[in-house]
Structure 1
């Protein structure tokens, strides 16, 4: 990610062996230069933002979220986002690495939590239903030197994620008659995120996983209802939209960055999947971002 066209932010580590931090919105606004959070940036960790007071907008990938009291924003690793500065906003920001949520590799909720972070970026809850969790996390975070505090934070954060994000995600899966994502699907999805620039052929991914293309297609359809190729192209489209919406680079440079040999190939690919040219999509993002 060192050559990423979107500015990257590393985890703001407060303690060498604990992958969790927490800020009030007021503290966050006063401690960082405004451009660092109002300009588009990509996270190399996860983050949860809770709004307790105020209204405004927040941008995650190419989506606009209209925030209000009770809004929960979930930003997963590698997603791009930016703040729409409003000093009247109150709440909390929690950056963390998701490994602190899990109890080892065999944790039965590991794939559910990661999948939920991938699929849902914001939900609106009753403002009183989540405030308690954040207030407790804040109290514990200010006392990190105390014994057992890290474990209390770990359990409180896990409970918060399960109660809000994972429960909402599960409800969405149930309504679509889908099951929880399998380990093979999660592995495939992870490979797509790290290799889509180099290859978008299903055969290559099947080879990486030691499977036939038929079996990989079956895994993809059982978990998402889409073919393996559709999933690969879908992620390539998502990253294309991120770079078009959040970077100032020429479309020709973005095309090369994404593995297209010619800018016209990106244009054909993008229009096939969205009905818009890259330039039209970028102009649309600029329009909505300035409104």
Structure 2
């Protein structure tokens, strides 16, 4: 039996690729048994991905949660997230893949809010439902046509970059309608600083007061910021973050739960097992077996 969830890297078949690729859902479905890992089985992404469904209904797994998809649904995933498709004969659409290096290269051309809304998995749902009268599909189809045009490669990279920026701007416009409560503000800035601290220190502390001290604010103020941003307490956000990290590590490595406990900063493996079961309903080993 396979011992872990594969870590899927960006591997374009197009020569001299600069870190971005587009393919159809249908082509991936046809090839699913001929590639190294069946995309219908859970896998961890080493790149960023946008999936646009143009026809059919199905589900897509994002970080251990199955999301319903249908015509004009967009799913966006960040590097490191767990993904799996559920193909059927009626399903059609496009998949845009791009590396972190490509994303960073485009940052100067993209409004800051776009990066916050589209690639902050802890803040937003991965789903965007595109209105029928929106023209997002036209630009994605144009991108696919340009990418598939092998007859002419002159200045294609600039064409990709321009279309990429347009597509992202369209998605940001749609996303902001779904997240009106999250405006650019001092609270959002502080929350993102808290999240960054948590990413770098979650193995050292799961105590909200630790992070409040680092931010030079009170525990009460940090709680208020988290409640206003995500409608949960700072402690609840910390727990959700740690549990998700534990899930990803459990299914994407051969690490034992005892080793993982110490790696995540738990003094005793039994404390980690109790903590994980409290928040998921499963022991670490049961969860790993279920997903593999």
With normalisation by structure 1, the TM-score equals 0.74
Aligned partner (choices 131, 151, 160) of residue 153 of structure 1:
160
Q: Is residue 120 of structure 2 the alignment partner of residue 115 of structure 1?
A: yes
Distance in 2, matches of 1:251 and 1:54, equals 40
1:200 aligns to what SS in structure 2?
coil
1:92 aligns to what SS in structure 2?
strand
Q: Which has the higher helix share?
A: 1
Indicate if the aligned counterparts of 2:114 and 2:168 stay in contact, CA closer than 8 A.
Answer: no
Q: Is residue 25 of structure 2 the alignment partner of residue 28 of structure 1?
A: no
The unaligned stretches of length 5 or more in structure 2 are: none
Q: Which residue of 2 aligns with 1:72?
A: 74
Aligned partner (choices 46, 49, 52) of residue 47 of structure 1:
49
CA offset at residue 40 of structure 1?
Answer: 1.7
Q: Which residue of 1 aligns with 2:268?
A: 262
Alignment of 1:165-176 (within 5 A): 166-174=172-180
Distance in 1, matches of 2:204 and 2:38, equals 31
The structure-2 alpha-carbon separation of the partners of 1:12 and 1:216, relative to structure 1 and needing over 3 Å to count, comes to farther
Alignment of 1:212-231 (within 5 A): 212=217, 214=219, 219-221=225-227, 223-231=229-237
The structure-2 alpha-carbon separation of the partners of 1:265 and 1:151, relative to structure 1 and needing over 3 Å to count, comes to same
Deviations 1:170-213 (CA, angstroms, capped at 9, x unpaired): 23432xx4433634432332332343234323455456x56345
**RMSD between superposed Cα atoms in Å:** 3.9
1:211 aligns to what SS in structure 2?
coil
The structure-2 alpha-carbon separation of the partners of 1:12 and 1:213, relative to structure 1 and needing over 3 Å to count, comes to farther
CA offset at residue 228 of structure 1?
Answer: 3.4
Distance in 2, matches of 1:263 and 1:156, equals 49
Indicate if the aligned counterparts of 1:42 and 1:78 stay in contact, CA closer than 8 A.
Answer: yes
Distance in 2, matches of 1:105 and 1:125, equals 20
Distance in 1, matches of 2:38 and 2:44, equals 11
The unaligned stretches of length 5 or more in structure 1 are: none
Q: Which residue of 1 aligns with 2:244?
A: 238
Indicate if the aligned counterparts of 1:42 and 1:80 stay in contact, CA closer than 8 A.
Answer: yes
Q: Is residue 187 of structure 2 the alignment partner of residue 179 of structure 1?
A: no
Alignment of 1:131-142 (within 5 A): 131-142=137-148
Aligned partner (choices 190, 194, 197) of residue 188 of structure 1:
194
CA offset at residue 76 of structure 1?
Answer: 1.4
Indicate if the aligned counterparts of 1:76 and 1:117 stay in contact, CA closer than 8 A.
Answer: no
Deviations 1:227-276 (CA, angstroms, capped at 9, x unpaired): 433322220122334456777876545544533343421233234445x2
Indicate if the aligned counterparts of 1:244 and 1:278 stay in contact, CA closer than 8 A.
Answer: no
Aligned residue pair count? 278
Q: Which residue of 2 aligns with 1:8?
A: 7
Q: Which residue of 2 aligns with 1:96?
A: 98
Distance in 2, matches of 1:197 and 1:107, equals 29
Distance in 2, matches of 1:100 and 1:52, equals 29
Distance in 2, matches of 1:100 and 1:152, equals 15
